[in-house]
Amino acid sequence: MASPSSTWAGRTHASQALDDYRRTVAGHARVVVASMTAAGHTISDPRDAGVLNMAGIDASLPMVVGGFIRS
């Protein structure tokens, strides 16, 4: 599991909440985590193929996210 970051608040880490959601609601759910800067950590599990971690935002973001969702 990824280490806690400044975006983690509450009792359940985001990666655990995603695992729970996949088990109970939608097994193939995907998540996009887009941050403004690379800070060396993420709120998701970096080994999870169903999570796209992006640092920096530009005009290509919608195309990249669309491709990730369709794959």
Per-residue pLDDT of the chain (71 residues; tens, 9 = 90+): 444 455 666 788 888 888 899 999 988 889 888 888 777 767 777 788 999 988 888 899 999 999 999 88
Q: Is 40 left (phi over 0), alpha (psi -120 to 50) or beta?
A: left
State the pTM of this model. 0.68
8 A C-beta contact, residue 65 and residue 31: no
Whole-number Å distance between alpha carbons of 67 and 26: 20
